[in-house]
Each structure stands twice: as C-alpha cells, then as structure tokens.
Structure 1
Amino acid sequence: MFSPATKKKIAYWGAKLECPVDDDANYENTYWCNRDLIPIPEDRRTWTWQGFAGYWIITGANNSAWTAGSTLLALGLSVGQSMGVIVGASLMISMIAIVAGWMGSHDYLGFTVMSRAIMTACIWMGIQTYWGGQAVKIILGAVIGPKYAFMKNTLPASANVDTGSLVSFFIFLVIFCPMLLIPPEKLQMPLRIAFVMIVCNIFGMLIWSVRTAHGAGSLLHSPAVATGSTLSWNVVYGIQAILGLWSGGIVGQSDWTRYAKTPNASLFGQGVTAPLTIIITALCGLIITSATFEIYGEYFWNPFELLLHIQSVSMSPASRAGTFFSGLAFLSSQLALCIVLNGISTGMDMAALCPRWINIRRGCFILTVIAVAVCPWNYVNNASTFITVLSGWSVFLSGMTGILIGDYFFVRGAQLHRGDMYRSSKDSAYYYTAGINWRAVVAWITGIWPLLPGFVRRVQGVNAANGWDHVYDLSYFFGFLVSMAVHVALHKIFPASKQTGASPFEMELHRGPRYLDGERPQVYVESITSHEDETVVLGKEKEASI
C-alpha cells in the first residue's frame, strides 16, 4: 500500500512524535504506558497538606461556587434554604472526595489508570475557559476603556455571544496554553499565588458591596417562592446539582492525590478546606448579589456580569481600577481552575487513548481545541440553563464514581496488581472479556438509563413532576448507589480471576538503538513483573511492522 520510502518517513515521524521519556527511566512508552501514567515515583510526590488546601480553595472559591449558590434562588429557595443546600452538598463532596482520592494517595495511580478496570471519560473545560474570557474582557475594558469594553457586536443574536466576549475568549486561550508547560508536581507555588488573589477578591467585593449598599440587602430576608412538595423536591434537586458541579473533580481526585508527599497529605484539604471554602464562597456570592440589587436595582447571579455592569455604569478611575484588579483575580482563578480541575485530569484521560504519543500536556492541548468546539457560551447565558448544566454532569459521572469506589474497596479490598494495568495480555488481572469489563459497563448503564428521560425533559423545559422527573431529581445519589451496587453484585455473582492480592509495578527494559543506520525501527524488549514470582514478557526484539 505504501512505498518503502513512505513507510520509512511514517516510522521516522512516529518515533519523533513519541512522548518524552525521563533519563534512566524504569519505563518505556508503549500503547499502555508513559511518564504521566506510571505510578508516581517518590521524587515526584511533592504535594503537602498546604498544596491540597490551596487546591480546594481554588476549586471551591471560584465563580462556579459563587454562581451555584446564587442560582439556587432560581429554584424558588430562600437564602437560608440555599445555604442549607450548600452546606449539605459540600459535606457530601468532602466525604466522597476523600474516598475517591484514597487510591491515588496510597497506590499513586491516577483515575485514568485506575479506570482501566472500568472506563474513562473527560469533561467540561469549555465553560471555565469562557468565564476566563470574561475575566480578560473585564481587564482589557478597564485598561483600554469603552472602546474595548463596549466593542460593537458584529455577531447575530443566534450566536449567543457578542464580539467582545468571543475575542476575549481566544485571548484567554493564548494566555492559558503556556501554563500547560508547568508539570503538575511544580504547580504548588502558582496555585498559592492564585488562591491568595481569589480570597482577597471575594472579601474585597463583599466589603465594597455591603458598604456601598449600607447593608446586605433585602434579598437575604425574602421568603421561599416555592412551597410544599415542590420546595422539597427542589431542595433535593439543588443538592445533587451542586454535587454535579464537583462531580468531575471528585471522580478524578486520584489524579492529584497521587502526587501527595505522604498518604494522608490530602485529607485536610478534602475534609476541612473543601466544604469550608464552598460554603463561604456561596454565602459571599449570595450577600453580594443581594447588596448589589440595592445599588443597581438588578440581581447579578454571575460576578462577571456584575463587573461588566459596573463598567457600563461608570468608567471613572475608581471603577476602572476596581474592576481591573477584580478581573485579574478572576483571571488567575480561571487559569488555576482550568489547569487543576479540567486540564490535568482530562489530559490524563486523553493520554490513556494513546500513551505512546499523548501525555498530559498534549492531552490538554487537544482538550483546549474541544473546549472551543463545544461553544460553551450556549450553556451559561442564564441561571436556569446553568443549573441544568450542573445537574447534567451527575447523570454520567455519578455512576462512574460509584463504580470506581466500589471496585477499589469492595471488589479488590484496596489491593492492586499494578503491573497488570500496563499490559494487554490475556493473563492480565484486568483483561476480563476481550479486554472489557462488561460488569462495569452493565453497572454504568443500569445507573444512568433511568435518569435520561428526566434529563431530556429538564433540558427541554418540560417538568410535570412525574416519576421520571423525580428520579432525575435524585440523579447523583441514584447513579452513584445503583451503579456501585450492581458493579459489586456482578463481581460477586460472576467473579473474575486474580481480582484480589497485590503486586508492584516493575518494568525491565533492554534498550537498543531506535534506528540502525537506516534500517526499520526496532522494538525494545520489555517485561513487567506483576506477580510475585512471575515475569511476563511483553515483546521481543524484532523488526517492527509498519
């Protein structure tokens, strides 16, 4: 099909484009393994409790938490009831995060490799990059002035985005992409700087709004709009919607806890910082929303809309300075959030698709392209749409979280044959049936299909409070518990071989030259020791077929 010269060029570029390998590495790039997928070695476990505390401040103290707290009011809840929902949901997030991250901090494996016993997924980057673009729009509006802040819109109404926001979105991507060059084990200092800016910004806006409005505003004392069973179900829906907001971060906790310097380094951040930060951020968001109504006569559920409105009302030096520094803090928040909660975790998921040529960094770049393609501005233009988007993640990710936790703790007893996760031979503990664990697939489908009718009805704006709608109101709890129970039960009824016991990750490599004077590329001899006294040879030196 190809001429010898073409085959040689394909082989050459295939080798050139392979992911980098550390000097004196104990691994080799294969279709299952690269630097970012191996169990993290001790010299790369650099994250202390302060780093994880900062991680959860960034994850909790951002515009998503702020917006989620405010938009609960759209469900007809009072401020007190909304805060009750936030407290309950944040405590659940904390507990699930601890359990989901345990495998990372104790076995040093990320979600992507752990889910080779299950399935992989990658999730929502677009919305956060869009909000990052809004921060850029605020900053440049403050610096350049009305010419940029009120740029003429040349896009049709059907685009759901204006020209200034779209330009700012792409500027944010230009700023964001170089940040991906920083390896995860060296991110602690940039994240510390970001969370200091975030905290100062939130409390600065709180003080300004309350002082300017001469109080917290009347919204804090307004009663709930919904009543009876409608109110009760809206409370339940609100809890699982907030869980949905953090569902991606929860299921991928081990992507970060595997960098923990000690096995328990992440517990303070997950158990204390996470719920505390989410609660405080949501409360501040509600108070600012209430106070700014007294100032401007309009509720701003999104902090970016508030800052843009301030610029539209006044371009005085004080307004420009205030919106500039606030926008700068939100920019740092979105940069950190895109890296921590989206980029690195999903980059690992991408790396699992083709480890020889895709690592975390390259996966992040691929994800960034996808973030543009999803047109995220279509999902954040109003409160009701936003809360539906938040809840929607629960449909697909809650089941994955339940399966991951049930598989690790109840099926395997927190024991893993780590070497088997990096080879595809039939005697691997995780080969299952033709390389697929059908039990996990069945469990996931069982957990999500009853949620789909209610999800579709919610997206379409049709909600008659029937049985499907109420099942969807319980989507995170339903998907999590049902998928976990079915997965564990199927493993008990149809047990797979070698699911108990543990063995280390060891790769024995015999490196040779990649090319021999123009000859076809060579395949290295690789073997993985995955059982106590058994070495399985994965390949032997031979000519590679193109």
Structure 2
Amino acid sequence: MALDPAAQAVSGPDGRVELRDHSAIASSPHYNAELAPVPLARRTWGTYNFFALWMGMAHNIPSYTLAASLVALGMDWLQALLTITLGNLIVLVPMLLNSHAGTKYGIPFPVFARAFYGVRGANLVALLRAFVACAWFGIQTWVGGGALHVVVGRLAGDGWTRAPEVLGRAWTLWLCFLVFWVVQMLVVWRGMEAIRRFENWTAPLVSVGFLVLLAYVAVEAGGFGPILAEPSRLGWGPDFWSVFFPALMGMIAFWSTLSLNMPDFTRFGGSQREQALGQVLGLPTTMSFIAVVAILTTSGAVARYGEAIWDPAELASRFDSTAVVLVALVALVAATVSANLAANVVSPAYDFSNAFPKRITFAAGGLLTGLIGVAIQPWRLISDPSGYVFAWLGFYGGLLGSVAGVLVAGYWVLARTRLALPDLYLAGRGAYWFRAGWNWRAVAATALGSLLAVGGAHGGPFPADGLLPPLAPLYDYNWVVGMVVGLVGHLALAPRRENA
C-alpha cells in the first residue's frame, strides 16, 4: 500500500529533507515525537553550537585520565600527544560520514540504523550503543563523585576522607557517588532543554580547573623544563610500538560511540557545512587541549612526586593549598556533570525509546541509563590504566567499529545518501522492513567484523593468549579490523536493491 503523497518527504534547496505530514506514520509502533524527523524550522544549530558541544563533551575528568593513562603506561609527553591526536583524527572520519544523515533527514541514530539493520533490527545496535553509554555514564559519575569526595574532605577533614569502609571504600565516597548521581538524574528528568542549558554555562569551567592543576604542578615541579625532559620508559623501539597500537585503538574507541550517534545532535544542524566545520574545529582541538594539560600535569607529578598519578582528584588531594584544590575540583565536578549528560544520556535515552517508542520517554530512558550505569560497577572498569585502555576501551571499540563500517557502507555506497524517510517508521512494509523487520545481512556483517576484531581479546580479564588464540594478533588493531570487515562484509552481502 502506497503512502499518501502528502506524507512524502520534501527536499529543500540545500539538500536537507523534511517530512511535513506525519499522519501516515504517527500510529506506527515504531514512531514517537522524540524519534520523529526534526522540522527544518527547528534545525537551528550553527558552527559554534557544535564546537561548544564538543568543548562540553571533551573537557571532563575521563578525557583527562585517558591522556594521563598513557604517561602511566610509560610514554613521554610527545608520544602520548601524538597517539591521542592521531586517534581523534581517525575517528573524526566515520563521525562526519554518519553525521551527514542526521543533518539531511533530521533523524537520530537509532532511526538512521533502521535503514540498514531493519526497523526492528536497529534495536540490536542501538541497545549495544546504549549499554556502552550506560557504562560511560557510570564511569563519569564515579570519577565525579570521587572529585566531590576530595572537595568535601578538604573542608570536613580526615574524619570524612578516612571514614569507615563499606565494600572496600569509605562510606563517604559512596555518599558522594550517590549525590552526584541524583543531581544528574534531576537534570535529566527535566528533559533535553535542561541539559542544553546546564551545559552552556558549565562547559568553560573545566578549562579553568585543569589549568589550575597544571599551573600548580608546574610550579611544584620547578617549571615546564623538568616536565618536558621526563623520558619515555618505552623508547621508540619495539616496546613503544607494542603499546602504541592498542593505545591508539583505545583513543579511537573513546569517541567511537559518538561516531555512531552524532546524528542525535546533527539532526538539529542548520546545514551540512555548519555541523561539519563545528566538529572539525571542535573535536581535535578540544581533545588536544585536554591531552596537553593532562600529559604535562601527569609528567609533572612524576617529576614532583615520583609517580604518574593519572586521577586528577587523587593528584589534587596531595596539594598543600586548600584553595587550589577547591577551585580546581569544583570546576571539574560541574563540568563532568555537563559532559556526562550530553555525551552519555542523550544517546541511550533515544536508544531505549527506539526499543519501546510508545512506552519509554526521553526522561524514562535517562533514568534507566542511570540505573544501569550503577549496576555495571564503573569503579572496576577504571581501577588501573591498563584495564581502562586495553580491556574496556579496546573491546567495545572493536564492536562499535564493525557497526560504523556497516553504516558507512550502507549510507554512502549502497544508498548513496538517499533514504525513503517515511519508510523508516513503517511496520510490516516499506523499504526497510526487510524480513520481519530485520536485515540479517547487515547483522551477519556486524557479527563477522566483531568476531575478527575482538575474538582474540587478551590481557586484563581475558586469557593471556586470547579468547580465540588464532585471532589474538588482530586484537591490537580491533577498531580498524571491525570497521574494515563490517564495511566490506556489508558491501559483499547486501543486494543492490537496498538502494533507496
């Protein structure tokens, strides 16, 4: 049965597409107002908005610990900076390619995924992305709660920081974690606009906090000379390269989640040029800034304290000046809330809503994200730098790389950026229903890419010789392997009739 002509999508002069009449799809079980295409009149985000978005998302404590962990693993400041910069430039490519669909059609990531995985099958990758975001939400909340614990400890004294332990940690630390969690949930419950307003005024604070940390450590270490002179424990030989490639995959994996779900934000873009330029200016520059600060600060800690302290809250706790500690960590706490809400709540809220469009609202999806983020026990994920970079980031990066490969192949090669917009919401019919709502070819390509990318996972919680030993050599290149195999596999398996 054909759609009413009035319900067909209309293309504007700049190539962006609008669905002006939703009446033909509004009753579908796969439609709700939050998943619906954004009208052109509401697509108002400009270059600065996307730049500011990246400033808010990149400037946070986990971004700092990511860079600092490389120093803890033995790199010097130059090696760590090169690794992070290269990783950001690589992940920017699929990020921009997938962002295009959001701006052109005004659709979020899970709806975009329906074009290639099927209207029902998209839930597979959407929920995979959602659970990763839940874990990141938990990680951000844990480190933010830790920073809050240090702040209060400086005011309350040793009775606070050395309180009796519960489950191996001071009960006061658990209390700070809970308070940090509740504050975020209150903002989430007020909706997307509350998140946007909160982020606007907190994002710049983190720059202040990190610069205060750097300045204090530099003074304590005797200036930047000793910091920059701190040698690499790895050199530039085999020891370095054995760490470099897994670390590079970890850097890519850090933003591989956003490389999938940037349509959640670019759907509000005023033009393709504005969203692309905002991201090109935003991601590499903001991450390089935080990387430089983290690397110099951590290297300074080695020169001053004799060890690489990759947790900024722990580092600040060693400072003699209470004023410095309070200024730095209050700024970091506020900015971490901002980054966490933008980067790790928006996506799973949409993803959970996509799974049950008529039952789960954005606010309910955000609350579910918070609950899962606690259940996942984030304090275990970042208990040491090797587990953080190699086990956690590397494993899920390989999985999401295969999804990115399928989306890039489907949208740019098979569909040639043309989608039948109303069909993305139809049940039982339309171009994207495939077989019972699933495109099993895309699922097979994703499974193959994931198997080759992470089947040989080793180190940390995995067997020393790998889950599947013959695949162990591929694991050091997990994201690239997943991306390439997912892309090639989808092109090889998908019939050309998928073109919209």
Fold shared, TM-score > 0.5 on shorter chain: yes
State yes or no: 1:336 paired with 2:338: yes
1:148 equivalent to 2:160? Answer yes
Partner of 2:356: 354
Residue 136 (structure 1) aligned with residue 148 (structure 2): yes
Counterpart in the other structure of 1:78:
76
Q: What residue in structure 1 maps to residue 31 of structure 2?
A: 33
- After TM superposition, give the deviation of residue 309 of structure 1 in Å: 3.4
* Alpha-carbon distance in structure 1 between the residues aligned to 2:81 and 2:349: 34
Alignment of 1:293-312 (within 5 A): 293-310=302-319
**CA spacing shift, 1:206–1:339, aligned 2, 3 Å:** same
Q: Which of the residues 390, 397, 402 maps onto 1:399?
A: 402
- Are the counterparts in 1 of residues 188 and 194 from structure 2 also a CA contact under 8 Å? no
Please list every run of 5 or more consecutive structure 1 residues that lacks an aligned counterpart in the other structure. Answer: 1-23, 502-546
CA contact (8 A) 2:61 2:140 kept: no
1:294 & 1:223 partners in 2: Cα distance? 13
- Does 2:45 match 1:47? yes
Instruction: Give the corresponding residue for 1:171.
Output: 179
**1:208 and 2:216 aligned:** yes
CA shift for structure 1 position 74: 4.3
8 Å CA contact 2:195–2:341 kept in 1: the answer is no
Given candidates 417, 433, 453, the residue that maps to 1:414 is: 417
The answer (yes or no) to whether the contact 2:187–2:195 under 8 Å persists in 1 is no
Deviation digits for residues 166-196 of structure 1 (CA, Å, limit 9, x no counterpart)? 2211111111111114443564443231221
SS at match of 2:345: helix
Q: What SS is found at the alignment partner of 2:270? A: coil
How far 1:484 moved relative to its partner? 0.9
The letter of the residue matching 2:98 is: A
- Distance in 2, matches of 1:30 and 1:182, equals 27
Q: 1:134 to 1:445 in 2, by over 3 A?
A: same
Once residues 263 and 241 of structure 1 are traced to their aligned partners in structure 2, the CA distance between those partners, rounded to angstroms, is: 29
Change (3 A) 1:217 1:175: farther
* Structure 1 residue identity aligned to 2:147: A
1: CA distance between counterparts of 2:313 and 2:94? 30
What is the one-letter code of the residue matched to 1:428?
Answer: G
Against the structure 1 CA distance between its residues 264 and 29, is the aligned structure 2 distance closer, same or farther, given a 3 Å change threshold? farther
Q: Distance in 1 between matches of 2:414 and 2:189?
A: 38
| SS across alignment from 1:38 | coil
Secondary structure of the residue that 1:454 maps to in structure 2?
Answer: coil
Offset at 1:467?
5.6
**Which deviates further from its counterpart, 144-153 or 128-137?**
144-153
* Structure 1 residues 29-428: aligned runs within 5 Å: 30-116=28-114, 117-118=116-117, 119=122, 120=126, 121=128, 122=130, 123=132, 124=135, 125-156=137-168, 161-184=169-192, 187-216=195-224, 218=226, 220-221=228-229, 222-225=231-234, 228-310=237-319, 314=320, 318-319=321-322, 321-388=323-390, 389-425=392-428, 427-428=429-430
Match of 1:487 among 467, 486, 490: 490
Q: Tell me the distance in 2 between the aligned counterparts of 1:468 and 1:97.
A: 27
- Structure 2: distance between partners of 1:93 and 1:56: 14
User: 2:418 touches 2:499 (CA, 8 Å); kept in 1?
Assistant: yes
> What does the per-residue CA deviation read over 1:430-463, in whole Å, with 9 as the maximum and x for residues that have no partner?
1111211011111001101123342244533626
User: What TM-score comes out, normalization by structure 1 length?
Assistant: 0.79
Q: Closer, same or farther in 2 for the Cα pair 1:185/1:106, shift >3 Å?
A: farther
**Whole-Å Cα distance in 2 between the matches of residues 452 and 293 of structure 1?**
34
**Cα deviation 1:121-146 (Å, max 9, x = unaligned):** 21122111111211321232234333
Alpha carbons of 1:466 and 1:366: their partners in 2 closer, same or farther (altered >3 Å)? Answer: closer
* Counterpart amino acid of residue 137 in structure 1: H
Residues 253-285 of structure 1, C-alpha deviation per residue, up to 9 Å, x if partnerless? 111111123333222331122101111211110
The root-mean-square deviation of aligned C-alpha atoms, in Å, is: 2.4
Amino acid at match of 1:354: F
Q: How many Å separate the matches in 2 of 1:81 and 1:463?
A: 27
Alignment partner, residue 18 of structure 2 = none
For residues 372 and 189 of structure 1, what CA distance do their matches in structure 2 show? Answer: 25
Q: Which structure has more helix as a fraction of its residues?
A: 2
In 2, are the aligned partners of 1:30 and 1:356 still within 8 Å (CA)? no
- The answer to whether the Cα contact below 8 Å between 2:42 and 2:268 also exists between their aligned partners in 1 is yes
Contact 1:201 1:326 in 2 (8 A): yes
- Is the 8 Å Cα contact of residues 67 and 295 (structure 2) preserved in structure 1? yes
For residue 302 of structure 1, what is the amino acid of its counterpart? D
Question: Does the aligned pair in 2 maintain the 1:47–1:188 contact within 8 Å?
Answer: no
Tell me by how many angstroms 1:208 deviates: 1.8
| Whole-angstrom distance in 2 between the partners of 1:211 and 1:441 | 54
1:517 aligned partner: none
| Letter of the 2:274 counterpart | A
Report how far residue 298 of structure 1 moved. 3.0
Q: What letter corresponds to residue 199 of structure 1 in structure 2?
A: S
Kept after mapping to 2: 8 A contact 1:217/1:293: no
Superposed CA deviations along residues 75-94 of structure 1, whole A, max 9, x for unmatched, are 44332222111121111122
Amino acid at match of 1:390: L
| Distance change in 2, residues 1:126/1:420 (3 Å) | same
> Which residue does 1:535 correspond to in 2?
none
Query: Relative contact order (C-alpha < 8 Å, sep 6+): which is higher?
Result: 2
Native 8 Å contact 2:458 2:465 kept in 1 = no
- 2:447 counterpart of 1:445: yes
Report deviation, 1:291.
Answer: 1.6
TM score, norm. by length of structure 2: 0.86
CA distance in 2, matches of 1:162, 1:144: 14
* 1:391 CA displacement: 1.4
Match of 2:6 in 1: none
Tell me, in whole angstroms, the C-alpha distance in 1 between the residues paired with 2:491 and 2:290: 37
Structure 1, 52-61 or 68-77: larger mean CA deviation: 68-77
